Amino acid sequence: MALGMGKYIIGGNRGLLNPESDESGKLEKVGSSLSSTSKKDKFRRHCRRFWCIYLIANVIFLAIFLPVFFLVAIPAIAQLVVNKSDLRIVNAEVMHPTTDTVRMTLEAKVNLKLALGVRLDPVVFYTFVRSAGHENAYAGIEIPGQTIKGNYSLGVTDQLTPILNMTSWETFVGQTVFQKETALSLYGVTTGYLGVLKNHIVLDKDVVIPTLNKFEGFSIADSTLLLPAEDDGSNLVANLTLPNPSALSFEVGTITLDLKSGNTDLVIGNATVKDVTLKPGNNTFPLRGVVDIGTIVSNLTEVVSSQGSAIRRGALSLTAVTRSIVSNGTLIPYYTKVLGSLPLVADVSIGDILRNSLAHIGSSGLLSDSDDKRRRGPVQLDGPVGYGDAYNQVAGLKHDRHVQKIFEDEDPERRDAMIDALARYYASL
């Protein structure tokens, strides 16, 4: 009976409990959801309760952050953009030099690497030597206000520019002449506008540019001795070449040169090169000069000994040293000083001198006249007192071994004819 009563026991027909149907997990989820909802409600209630405090805190934060952002961060970013921008000199010209002014043209390419345009107030870019500092700038270039964007060209054309510091200017000219490259240092302070944002900008850059490198490749070609001398006393004409590998152009003026034999201090003549303007590339100018035959003859041993290595190369070595530079009738002291400290050495082909000079002598009739005198024997003393001695002094060089060495590649008769012509010219001095 006890067994039969089992079906009437409460819960007796539920069978075994199924673990998968356990409701405890649902209870935990409900508890967790209630807890999360409770936290959000608490946070909302907290914000509603203390909103005034949070508002004041945000106002204080913005009051501190915004001025820092606009007064410090934005200008710093603008300055960084300027510092990182590429600046390249495309063209620079220094023209119409006087003792204290030049006329400058400067064209530069600047790439701000910024999509937005930047408007700049007018600015003076000071050019200076880095070692001397921008306080000792040698020139100030006034750039008008403009908006620059992307890869942009800016600069000035033919601007009259006073030389502000002569020492710095001479240093820059010296670096330009003697060095292979130098830095064109620029300094300027302006205000830039990026939209409505106004920023203080300082430009302080060194732009490296190729320079004259001591006129490497200097040469004197097409040299011709003029016999007799021209009315102005010139007895030498040639073409002088001054290379300029830079992007700079310089108007120099008229250069007067002392001509020396080889590496000696013996001045054997002078030359003038007019209206020199150095533009990028090779610059060739006509040279006119006076070779002092008397000095050469009187110092023949020193002259020949100084030409030893050059003669072995089939050339004569001439050293040209700047004595003065004049532009528009005014002596330009800074160019004279710098170029005067740079001796320019050139090998002048002996063959070219002989061919050009003999051709000139032949065209002037002196060659045949000299041939007649040589065939007639010693010169007749029918000129001023001492004429024959002067003539024979030079004519006797035909038998000097050093002179024969110089003219060894020439036909002896043509060599003697040229020496006779030189003798006649010397005797007539």
Q: 43-100 pLDDT, tens per residue?
A: 677 666 666 765 666 566 555 544 544 454 445 555 555 556 667 888 899 999 999 9
pLDDT digits (tens, 9 = 90+) for 166-186: 999 999 999 999 999 999 999
Residue 379 has pLDDT above 70, yes or no: no
Question: Which residue did the predictor score with more confidence, 232 or 114?
Answer: 232
Q: What is the percentage of the chain residues whose pLDDT exceeds 90? A: 34
Q: Which two tokens stand for residue 186?
A: 């620029």
Count CA atoms within 13 Å of residue 20 on its CB side. Answer: 0
Spell out the alpha helix ranges (H) of 279-411.
293-298, 300-306, 308-312, 333-340, 350-364, 366-376, 387-395, 401-406
- The reply to whether omega before 228 is within 30° of 0 (cis) is yes
pLDDT of residue 109: 81
Report the mean per-residue pLDDT for the chain.
77
- pTM for the model stands at 0.70
Q: What is the percentage of the chain residues whose pLDDT exceeds 70? A: 64
Residue 30 has pLDDT above 50, yes or no: no
Question: Which residue did the predictor score with more confidence, 397 or 355?
Answer: 355
pLDDT of residue 287: 95
Query: If you write DSSP's letter for every residue of 120-150 in order, what string do you get?
Result: E--EEEEEE-TTT-GGG-SEEEEE--EEE-S
pLDDT of residue 270: 95
pLDDT of residue 81: 57
Give the count of beta carbons closer than 10 Å to the beta carbon of residue 364: 14
* 3 state SS of 314: coil
Residue 322 has pLDDT above 90, yes or no: yes
pLDDT digits (tens, 9 = 90+) for 198-221: 777 778 888 899 999 999 999 999
Residue 372 has pLDDT above 60, yes or no: no
Cα distances (angstroms) measured from residue 275 to each of 95, 252, 255, 284, 323:
12, 7, 8, 11, 16
Residue 260 has pLDDT above 70, yes or no: yes
Residue 233 CB-density burial (10 A; 0-12 exposed, 13-18 middle, 19+ buried): exposed
Q: For the chain, which residues make up each domain, given as ranges?
A: 85-211, 214-348, 355-368+384-427
Question: Which residue did the predictor score with more confidence, 421 or 287?
Answer: 287
CATH architecture of the domain with range 85-211: Sandwich (2.60)
Give CA 94 to chain center in angstroms. Answer: 12
pLDDT of residue 227: 73
236 closest CA partner among 315, 291, 318: 291
Question: Which residue did the predictor score with more confidence, 393 or 254?
Answer: 254
Residue 194 has pLDDT above 60, yes or no: yes
Same fold, 85-211 and 214-348: yes
Question: Which residue did the predictor score with more confidence, 306 or 386?
Answer: 306
Could you please state the CATH topology (level 3) that the domain comprising 214-348 is classified under.
Immunoglobulin-like (2.60.40)
